[in-house]
Amino acid sequence: MGVISGAAAVAGVSTLAVAQAAPQSAHNAAQQSAGDANPPYAVETFDYPNAAKILREQGILLRKGDGHIILADCQAPDGQDIQVSTGVNHPGQTKTGRYCFKVTGTGKTGYLTLELPQVYNIMTGDVAVQADLTSAGKTQSVDVPKNFTKGVGPGDNPPAGPTVLVELRVKG
């Protein structure tokens, strides 16, 4: 009986020692293994893809979004869920003075931060939108219902001066 108890106690202590040494994250183990070439972790920043190229080619700065509001061709019949009229006339626009956005997914949620100066009008299709605009150092939120046209900035009454669109948010 004493030998068996002693062997069980030794086995228990060695099991405890192994158990205490075992908790090690897979990431730490991968770093310690010289022959293991695990890829680094992916971190989503929600930066708009190809934003610098779009700015050069189309004159609009797209910052971040969840992928549910994307820049679209204003000539395409399905690319006009949201239309923004602006005093910016860039040769890369598909319709002079206008930028169009398509809403993807369920159409119930979505956001896009951007920088679009000289905005004076926002038109919606089958989505309701909240737009955040800045003018004279102040930010204002404007709700634009489905299938509606809303004047903002210089098109607003009374005229508010130069207005920059900084965020679009689908309100479902």
Q: Give me 172's structure tokens.
A: 């479902």
Confirm if 102 and 68 have CB atoms less than 8 A apart.
no
In a domain, 91, yes or no: yes
142-161 pLDDT, tens digit per residue, is 999 999 999 997 655 554 56
Length of the chain: 172
| Residue 136, pLDDT score | 84
Q: What domain range includes position 140?
A: 51-170
Pairwise CA distance, residues 118 & 48, whole Å: 21
pLDDT tens digits, 57-107: 999 999 999 999 999 999 988 778 999 999 988 888 989 999 999 999 887
- In the three-class reduction of DSSP (H, G, I as helix; E, B as strand; rest coil), residue 7 is classed as helix
The answer to whether residue 15 is domain-embedded is: no
Q: Is 148 left (phi over 0), alpha (psi -120 to 50) or beta?
A: beta
Q: Which residue bears the tokens 């680094």? A: 40
pLDDT of residue 112: 96
CATH number of the domain enclosing 133: 2.60.20.30
- Predicted TM-score (pTM) of the model is 0.70
Q: Please give the single-letter amino acid code of residue 150.
A: K
Give domain status of residue 150, yes or no.
Answer: yes
